[in-house]
Chains A and B, each alone.
Chain A
Amino acid sequence: MPEVKSIFREVLPKQGQLSMEDVPTMVLCKPKLLPLKSVTLEKLEKMQMEAQEAVKQQELAMKGAVAVDAQ
């Protein structure tokens, strides 16, 4: 390989002190691994959802019945 003379020469100071200012920077919150749910918890949540649905359905049915009565 032919020797290519570079235009840029690296500068490595051998004397003097190197200083770097440590500026506090803002921090981001960390990425969040989502915890897996236990079987019991999933069942509980499912049951609660179903129960809420059932209540809602019944309430709707009640309202419907009242509306029919009013007519």
Chain B
Amino acid sequence: MEVTMDPLFLALSYFRRRRLQQCSDICTKILQDSPYDQAAWSLKTRALTEMVYIDEIEVDQEGIAEMMLDESSIAQVARPGTSLRLPGTSQGGGPTPAVRPLTQSGRPITGFVRPSTQSGRPGTMEQAIKTPRTASTARPVTSASGRFIRLGTASMLTNPEGPYINLSRLNLAKYSQKPHLSRTLFEYIFHHENDVKNALDLAAQATEHAQFKDWWWKVQLGKCYYRLGLYRESEKQFRSALNHKEVVDTYLYLAKVYQRLDQPITALNLFKQGLDHFPGEVTLLTGIARIHEEMNNISSATEYYKDVLKQDNTHVEAIACIGSNHFYTDQPEIALRFYRRLLQMGVYNCQLYNNLGLCCFYAQQYDMTLSSFERAQALVANDQEQADVWYNIGHVAVGIAELTLAYQCFKLALAFNNDHAEAYNNLAVLELRKGRIEQSKAFLQTAASLAPHMYEPHFNLSILSEKIGDLQSSYTAAQKSEDSFPEHVDTQQLLKQLRQHFAEL
């Protein structure tokens, strides 16, 4: 006779081995036989939650509505160095846009992207709406209607019998009395169903049941308030949770609230408080480094990333950020060592090989350059990445004076991503070398309209217009270039020249 394992035990074992689908299937069978089996019910809830679980600390998406109709900020015009919204206030002596490309929000590009850094905060409503809506930068109108809802509905769609737990028929008051069920239920509602209002109800009743003494429920309440955009309420909950018990996560959540409220200094102080209780905690150190980086204070960000590496020498984010910083401060050979370290650690993707290729080229290790780019090409996941890799190969081609190859590369970049403003600009420069003025001008105008934050297309357009004698357009273009990069010497000179010209008329 065959001995079968106890199904619940098997399900638990599957859960531990993260075979979540199998675990959930077994639980479904158990529940069909005995619908009131609380253990199986709870386990299935956990399995379903784990399938779609994402770290709440990392998740941060701002919709247009949150950004533009934001009333929680204290000062509309903040003093320099106290706000995350003024990317231009660099005090750290970081690299200028002349050597380091900018993101759309006018911040230097970093070595690492997280959900919250994907696209920065545009300055005006017009810019927010004009931001190109490609697949990777599509911004939800409000964050509540963004990715979360899409994920939530999708998880329901895949289940032909409808949702596993019918929230509207659930007696939340009953469940909140049962501590062993309420927590898994809460996580299910919060992560799987994305029904923040019901989750908040449950958390409120449960914390009442625990006589307001359970820090866990307070943190959950804070998370719910945060998702609903009630930042001050969530701050209160997190503070109160910290009074009960010092937990690293709570510090991180609270810092996230302050960042959303645009109070980076408060967040920094909080992280330092956290470090007093948990010395050398990597996540807190990373938090400090990220804030410095977002405030354009690259050199102190790098210092903190180095501290992170002292604690955890396999921290991908820290290595990538230090590496990119070295690359853009003219030390590609050191950057190469950092990226090579990542490769040794087992990171294996298109971005890394692309960066290795660039570092190799600028560190004069020509033998490795093209093979790295070949690997990058083989590993691309989407058209945007493909375009970026071609764009960088184009740079290598420019570097070895293979202008035909460069031309083809930039064209290919545009074929894969029609919104690639940098490629348009570089193509325009090459076109002008060939003497095709009209073509070059058209490319520059396209680049300028696609990426108004870059100074290069404006500046190039200004030079081009000046050469063909169209001084007025040259002047307006130069002014735009000055707006996006005030310290650029060549723009200043050009403007001075033009003003002199106009004065003589």
Binding site for B on A (CB under 8 A): 22, 24-38, 40-41, 43-44, 47-48, 50-52, 54-55, 58
| Cα A34 to Cα B392 with chains together (Å) | 10
- Given A40-B54, A51-B151, A24:B490 Cβ within 8 A: yes
Min C-beta distance of B147 to chain A, whole Å: 6
| Cα A56 to Cα B129 with chains together (Å) | 28
Q: Which partner residue on chain B sits nearest A43 by CB separation?
A: B54
List 11 interface pairs A-B (beta carbons < 8 Å), by A numbering: A24-B494, A28-B395, A28-B429, A34-B354, A35-B111, A36-B347, A38-B113, A40-B59, A48-B150, A58-B157, A58-B158
Chain B residues with CB under 8 A of A51: 150-151, 154-155, 157-158
A-B interface pairs (CB < 8 A), number: 127
| Cα A28 to Cα B154 with chains together (Å) | 44
Chain A residues with CB under 8 A of B54: 40, 43-44, 47
Interface centre among A22, A47, A52, A58 (most CB of B within 10 A): A47
Question: Are A48 and B349 in touch, CB under 8 angstroms?
Answer: no
- Given A31-B395, A54-B158, A36:B425 Cβ within 8 A: no
| Cα A15 to Cα B43 with chains together (Å) | 91
Question: Are B151 and A34 in touch, CB under 8 angstroms?
Answer: no
Question: Are A35 and B320 in touch, CB under 8 angstroms?
Answer: yes
Min C-beta distance of A15 to chain B, whole Å: 30
Would you list which residues of chain B between 43 and 58 have a CB under 8 Å from chain A?
A: 52, 54-55, 58
Contact count band on B = 35 or more
Beyond known contacts A37-B112, A37-B113, A51-B154: 6 more, CB 8 A cutoff: A24-B494, A33-B355, A34-B350, A38-B58, A41-B58, A47-B151
| Cα A29 to Cα B109 with chains together (Å) | 13
Min C-beta distance of B462 to chain A, whole Å: 9
Question: Are A41 and B459 in touch, CB under 8 angstroms?
Answer: no
- Given A27-B460, A44-B115, A36:B320 Cβ within 8 A: yes
Q: Which partner residue on chain A sits nearest B447 by CB separation?
A: A29
Q: Which partner residue on chain A sits nearest B154 by CB separation?
A: A51
Min C-beta distance of B257 to chain A, whole Å: 18
Question: Are A35 and B147 in touch, CB under 8 angstroms?
Answer: no
Q: Which partner residue on chain B sits nearest A59 by CB separation?
A: B157
Q: Which partner residue on chain A sits nearest B399 by CB separation?
A: A31
Question: Are B58 and A34 in touch, CB under 8 angstroms?
Answer: no
Would you list which residues of chain B between 259 and 294 have a CB under 8 Å from chain A?
A: none
Question: Are B113 and A28 in touch, CB under 8 angstroms?
Answer: no
- Given A29-B101, A29-B426, A40-B59, A34:B388 Cβ within 8 A: yes
Return the contact of B388 from the options A32, A47, A54 (Cβ within 8 A): A32
Q: Does B235 contact A (CB under 8 A)?
A: no
Q: Does B454 contact A (CB under 8 A)?
A: yes
Chain B residues with CB under 8 A of A41: 58, 113-115, 118
